[in-house]
Structures are given as structure tokens and as C-alpha cells.
Amino acid sequence: MRRAAVKALRASYQCTCRGLRVSSRGSPLPLLQSSKAASSGSPTAHYNPRLGTATARYLSSTGARDSSGTHHHSNARPEPLRSSMYVRGAFVTLLSGLVAYGAWYNSGDSNSESPIASTTSATTTATGAVPTRSVLVIGADELHTGTFVGDGPISKTTSDNERVVEMLSPEQATRKLRQYEQSVYVNRGQGVVRYDVAQLPSNDPIEDDHAEKIVEVPNKAPSSDPSDWMFWGVFDGHSGWTTSAKLRQALISFVARELNETYKSSPDLIPSAAAVESAIKTGFTRLDDEIVHQSVQRVLKSNNRLVAAEHLAPALSGSCALLSFYDSKSKLLRVACTGDSRAVLGRRSESGKWTATALSTDQTGSNPDEAARLRKLHPGEEHVVRHGRVLGGLEPTRAFGDASYKWSRELSEKLREKFFGRSVSPLLKTPPYVTAEPVVTTTKIEPEKGDFVVMATDGFWEMLTNEEVVGLVGKWIESQAGSSSKSSGYFSFLQKGSKTALPVESSESEKNSGNKTPIRQRQWGATGTDPMERFVVQDKNVATHLVRNALGGKNQEQVSALLTLPSPFSRRYRDDLTVQVIFFGYDGPKTGEIVVNKEATAAALAAAAADGNKTGPVKPKL
């Protein structure tokens, strides 16, 4: 039956593909096109599942582009595409115009450079009433899109172990993008008008998580109105989902408790900046101590494998954490970063454009400051940072959990022998190597200028630059200001900008911020493309809008292909994505309520909110 199925697929499947051969470093390599296309202009090539290739030839790597965008090339043919296994630790990232490279933390070398392969729309002619459907062919090192002629399900594995799945339509892709989106109006007159959230899983289950909370703070003077503490957090898990889930449940509470004690003990409830920063750091480190060390004491005391499974899971997996704390009274935003998630401020300049300012720095072994810090803490250990990773294994230098980098060798081996655990690195000598203590930055927010902050896990920043993200939010705001939707009232005070470019100013300080460059740019230098040829505005939720453009924007085939990829194949091309956008301002009603924005919230989540399971309208969580 399997042999017959493959034979039928050969007879009916057609695809067109373009590609780049694999290289471990260097500039983009030449495109692959069908020989038929070269002679007749038609892009169609027959696909052979056994060979896994299309009849094709390579364009010259020195091909030029004229003013009309046409490539001029020779007929030179370099070596054919090879498996990504030839490139140590590098995932081959394909699909037209974007490298969607998943974050990975425990092996390999994320700095290896792999060019992309690109697909074009396939064409075929269906006869009679036989349907023609788009398909995605998933190989070990390459993706192809094409068409399938015939009835029945499309989920096959070819003799070359390539998987064939039906492509999501643009409508289905949009539904998947919007499956977990949330949007909330904050009608409290405290300087925040709205925040949007979007998530896109790649792992199954998703290892990212997020949390939001508003705390009403009474003022000391009886006649004064209360102020708000507002928290937003994104948590990028790795090696499992349990640590990020623990942070969603507990991190804001731990930090708020420390802040409460700090504010109460200060004169006039106005603590020093150093005291607030210390309180945030204490909240982080106390929670990590509970996850990593107190859990061990409970496990050893119980001597029970079920208790060990419950308490050690968040310690053995890990998670980065990015937490923003806004005090509406002082208008100060504190951003605490543990790991390589990132927060970026968008602010309107005098020119009417937006400027991008990073509020955190990626904490990885590739960051010279972090590498120097670790070498100072562990003198004489040559491999404390190896290939940009802690002991050659873990990319973030700060994280919750990851207990195998924090426990002593003796404790790790004892827990592994009695219960379970991870193998101990032979390089481990003087733990702990990884800390959960965050780096905290403080920024004065200007709500009257319409400031906004984008917070996202590192998989998102691997696809877009800070300036692109701020410009995309600015473009989205322009579209809202010109619409008749309820959202437009919240952005009506902002001016409209250019309709032909992203409304963002270039900043040299951003280029030298120390944060990682998107893999897409580092691998094939897509910096000269006209942004308005790549980006699109079509979502009511601004976080969803950002995720769509990170996946390909106007290139709908690419967006659909990336969203079609099932787990675990999707991890070769993109990570879990979590994005939050917080809008500051004083526009909108001041009813004191927090209200779900139904037009920018997934239907299931909006329905849950209406039933009282989520916000909607609700009182602030105190």
C-alpha cells in the first residue's frame, strides 16, 4: 500500500522550487530554478519524491539586478544542495525571503550561517472536477511548495522520508495566527490605554508563557486617588514548558511582594531607585531559589518519585524572563531581563517618525560583557564560555531553572541516581554558572507622546530588527487612526505618517546596542529590500500584526508554509513566538474598568472572558 501511494503521488504531484545550496559561511548562494522556466518562462517543474529534487539549474552567484528587478545571470552550475548535517549545528532555513530560525539552547552553534532556499507558487491544471490543492513537502534540509491533484487526505511520507502535507490557505493561516491573540483596553486613566498579546507555538506544547497584572495601590493621603502598578511578563522556556509555567504563576507575585515591603518602609512611600531595583532582583532570585534549591529539599525529604517529578521538573527545564513594571504615579517603567528576550521602546520624535530604543540587552554567551562576567566569576576555567554558550551547552547566561548549571556535581548525580535528572557536563567545576538575577533598566515614560513598548521572546527578534518592529507598530497605528473602528479613538491624537515607508528613524546607537542581529540579516543580508514590499497591515491586534510580518508579511505563500509546518519540523525554521505590545497614553474612557477588546481577541478567549473566566470587564487584580 505504501509503494502504491508513493507511485500515485509521483503521477499527480507538481511543484516549482527555487533554492540555495548549503554553505556554512559566506554570502548568499545562487538561486535554483527549473530548466523549463529558463527556456519558456513557465515556472513549473515536475517533482520526483524519490529523488527529492526538481529538474533545475542554478543561476550565477554573481547575478546582477537591473532597475526593473530582473536578474542577469550565467549558466554556471555549482554543486547540488547538500544536507544541513554538513553544517555543524546549523539549521537550514528556507522559504522565500525570510530566515525563520528557531532558538535552541542546549547544543550546536547558533552563529553558523546558512543561506535560505526560496519557493515560488506552483501551477498545474486540474481536469474535470478533480480538485487541485497546494502542498508542502518537508525534507531533511529543504522545503518545497507545490500542487496536488486528486481527492482524499494529503499526509504522506515519500521513499526519501520527506513528508507531504496540505498547505494552509491564507484564511486558515490567518485563523492560526489569531488563535491565541488577546487585546485589553485599560480604561483607568493611569497612563496605559491598551495592551495586545499574541502567541504562536512551534513546540508542542508551547514552551513560552506570559502574564499580565494590574495592582491598585492606595495613596498615603486619604484624599488622593489610588495609583496603579502594572506588570507584563514574557517567559521563554527551553527544554520543556514547566519553568515558564511556574513563572507565569508566581513571578509577578514574588516581585510585587518585595516591592510592597520596599514602598511601605520608605518615607512617603517613595523609595530610592536603587531600593526598587533591589526589590525586583530579590523577587527574581527568591523564586529561582524556590525552584532550584527548596524543591530539592522537599524531594529528598519525601524520597518519593512522584514528588520528585512534580518538584524537579521546573528545576531541570529552564526559562528566560522579561518583566516590565510601570508605576503610574512616577511614570517610571522598570524592565527586568533574565536571558535573551527583549523589550524595545517606541517614541514619537519631533519629525513625526518613531525612534526605537532597546530597554534590555540580550544575555548570552555571545555578549562580551556576559562572557567577561562569567570568566571573572570562574577564573582559570577555559571553557566556561565555549562557542558562545555556557560550558558549551546553554546559550542564555541568565535563566530560571537550568539546575544542572547550578547544582553541585554530587547533588546532580545523587538526584539522578535516586530519581532522575540530566547528565552532568564534564566541564562543570565551580557551579553555579547561571543566575536568575536580572539586569534592570529604568525609563521615564511619556504617555502624552503615545509611547509604546514591545516585549517579545528571542525567536521573534531573530526575524526582525528593533527599528523594523517599531516602524511596523507605527504603520499599524496609522492604519488605526484612519479607520472607523473603536480602536481608532485610542490613537486619534497621533499624526499620520508616510504611506510609502516605515515611519521610523535609523539610530546608530541601536545598531551598536549589543543585541543580536536577526538571523535573516546575518545569513543573507536582506537589508536593502524596500520594507513596504515586504510588510503588510491587516490585523486588528498589533501583536498578531508583528508576528505575521515576522513570518513573511506580504509573501502569503511563505506565511502559509511556515504556519503549515507541524511540530517538531517547525523548530527547524522558527521558535515559539510570544509578543506583547503596551500602549501608553491618556485617551479613551476613564471608567476604571479593564475591558476585553473583542475585535482583536480570539473568539474562544473573548467568550471565556464574557463568562468570567478572563478579564471582561473586571476589577484590577489586587
197 is in which domain, residue-wise?
173-208+342-349+446-508+516-621
Domain assignment present for residue 524? The answer is yes
Domain assignment present for residue 311? The answer is no
Q: Alpha-carbon distance 431 to 407, whole Å? A: 6
Residues 470 and 530 in one domain: yes
What pLDDT was estimated at residue 500?
54
Residues 202 and 136 in one domain: no
What pLDDT was estimated at residue 156?
77
Chosen domain end from 150, 167, 184: 167
DSSP 559: H
Q: Alpha-carbon distance 480 to 533, whole Å? A: 20
Domain assignment present for residue 467? The answer is yes
Residues 485 and 524 in one domain: yes
Residues 546 and 573 in one domain: yes
Domain assignment present for residue 326? The answer is no
Residues 498 and 521 in one domain: yes
Model confidence pLDDT, tens digit, residues 229-281:
999 999 999 999 999 999 999 999 999 999 999 999 988 788 999 999 999 99
Residues 156 and 199 in one domain: no
Low-confidence ranges of the chain (pLDDT < 50): 1-127, 521, 523-528, 614-622
Residues 196 and 147 in one domain: no
Residues 140 and 204 in one domain: no
Model confidence pLDDT, tens digit, residues 454-465:
999 999 999 999
Q: Alpha-carbon distance 213 to 144, whole Å? A: 44
Long-range residue pairs from 365-369, CB within 8 A, at least 24 positions apart, any chain: 365/389, 365/390, 365/394, 365/395, 365/397, 366/111, 366/395, 366/516, 367/397, 367/514, 368/514, 369/514
Domain assignment present for residue 181? The answer is yes
Domain assignment present for residue 7? The answer is no
Q: Alpha-carbon distance 328 to 338, whole Å? A: 24
The answer to whether the beta carbons of residues 424 and 404 sit under 8 Å apart is yes
Alpha carbon distance, N-terminus to C-terminus of the chain:
62
Domain count, the chain: 2
Chosen domain end from 167, 190, 225: 167
Q: Alpha-carbon distance 552 to 354, whole Å? A: 22
Query: In Å, what is the CA distance from 550 to each residue of 168, 192, 354, 412, 544?
Result: 18, 26, 19, 40, 10
Model confidence pLDDT, tens digit, residues 518-561:
875 454 344 445 666 789 999 999 999 999 999 999 989 989 99
Domain assignment present for residue 586? The answer is yes
Q: Alpha-carbon distance 247 to 236, whole Å? A: 10
Residues 460 and 478 in one domain: yes
Q: Alpha-carbon distance 371 to 393, whole Å? A: 14
Residues 492 and 551 in one domain: yes
Q: Alpha-carbon distance 486 to 396, whole Å? A: 41
Chosen domain end from 167, 191, 220: 167
Domain assignment present for residue 596? The answer is yes
The answer to whether the beta carbons of residues 346 and 467 sit under 8 Å apart is no
Residues 163 and 178 in one domain: no
Coil, strand or helix at 56: strand
Residues 570 and 611 in one domain: yes
Cis peptide before 432 (omega within 30 of 0): yes
The answer to whether the beta carbons of residues 52 and 160 sit under 8 Å apart is yes
